[in-house]
Chains A and B, each alone.
Chain A
Amino acid sequence: MSAPRPADRPSTPRWRGISFAERMGTVDFRVGARAHITVDAEVCRSCTTRACVTACPANLFTPTADGGILFNYEECFECGTCYMVCNHEGALTWTYPDGGHGVVFHHG
């Protein structure tokens, strides 16, 4: 099977001249070796609400053409929005990154 491709990714227009990548580029992420959140794309295939795709403030959840969800943990705020809004048992495993890693806010 070929790798899932991103499809109908929510548009991220350049709000006031800032692309989403630039926006996330302002944040200090000390990326750990371990993915602290994992997504079970099989469970996500049966999901119709896709709440995580809308609500994740870091826009880390991307629907794929084969109906799954592609997720990258590196630029995560560790806020908890995704598991709070997810209504599918077992779709997400959520832990904190290893100590000292993950997001570091300098202007929180």
Chain B
Amino acid sequence: MTAPTGPLVAVCLRVTDLRPEVDRLTGAVRRDPLGVGLTPADAAALELGLRLAETWSARVVALTAGPSSVDPVLREVLALGVAVVRVPDGGEDDGHGYTAELAGDEGGLARTLAAALAPFGPPDLVLCGDRSADRGTGALPAYLAHELGAAQALGLVSLSAGDPAAGRHLVGERRLDAGWRERLRIPLPAVCSVEAAGVRLRRAPLTGVLDAADRPVPVNRSLPVAAATGPGAGSGGAAVHLGGSRPFTPRPRVLPPPAGDDPRRRLLALTGALAAHDPPTVVAPADAAGAADVLLAFLARHGYLPEADGDAR
């Protein structure tokens, strides 16, 4: 089914824990190998790749960088009749090298993936999910486009082959603010990242799954693994990056409904417009522990911390 030559569609998959725990203080990511899977966006990228390949009679290759613990997910991709290449994680197979902290060195990862793709010939299209669940920044496709010298269109909600009469190209749509969408005409070769919108990944046939169960996932070990140029390379969490984490949001505080018959008074009570306010307090405790105590007392006084439970969260 895969011709040795002809158009090539490559799909870059980030196979990782779908529900990683991000430490709110340090940004460190804790991953559970059992939680690995394709994010809906990566699954959409693969499905779109398969559809476009059918349209163009193209070959499909799926690329990923990661430890051997992601192989069960890749076998499911193999079962779809897609060629798969895994670039092993830097160093020990189950250690998290440069793929652990994507934010650390996406340029290096892009170089590695582009090199892994080289044996298949120049791709007409590279598809990615828009970002990974474990603090991915969504910047990898841009680096890939740079490496491959391709056009780029990121964060698409739909992607299809354009009318061949106008030359081979793609048509994609992207969200804008206020419900607007922009439609893009994308020349080839291109790198596109897509959101999980509109499509679900097809399921592999049982024979494909049984067939893939006996096959090892091809691993490309010949690459300059770890692409040891970036700050995140092989560092296993040495650097702290807070770029992808969200700030802690306190729980909403429940206010009793204001009493009184007069709507104006109720409104005033609710907004506190005419009420007396505590002036801002400037505290200057001597040490960090003292400052923490003052802050905790403030939060507790204003109902943001559960009372009495103490350390029960």
Contact = CB atoms under 8 A, between A and B. Distances in A.
> Do A and B come together as binding partners?
yes
A34 to B, nearest CB: 10
B313 A17 contact: yes
Interface in A65-108: 98-99, 104, 106
Contacts, number: 19
Interface size class of B (residues with CB under 8 A): 10 to 19
Interface string A7-22: 0000000001110000
Grouping DSSP codes into helix (H, G, I), strand (E, B) and loop, the B interface class, with mixed when no group exceeds half, is loop
A17 B306 contact: yes
Nearest to B251: A19
Contacts of A106: 32, 34-35
B119 to A, nearest CB: 31
A3 interface: no
Interface of A: 16-18, 28, 30, 33, 98-99, 104, 106
Contacts of B312: 16-17
B19 A28 contact: yes
A104 B18 CA distance: 11
B203 interface: yes
A82 B109 CA distance: 49
8 interchain residue pairs of minimum CB distance:
A17-B306, A17-B309, A28-B19, A17-B313, A33-B200, A106-B34, A16-B312, A106-B32
14 contacts: A16-B309, A16-B312, A17-B306, A17-B309, A17-B312, A17-B313, A18-B313, A28-B18, A28-B19, A28-B35, A30-B18, A30-B37, A33-B200, A98-B203
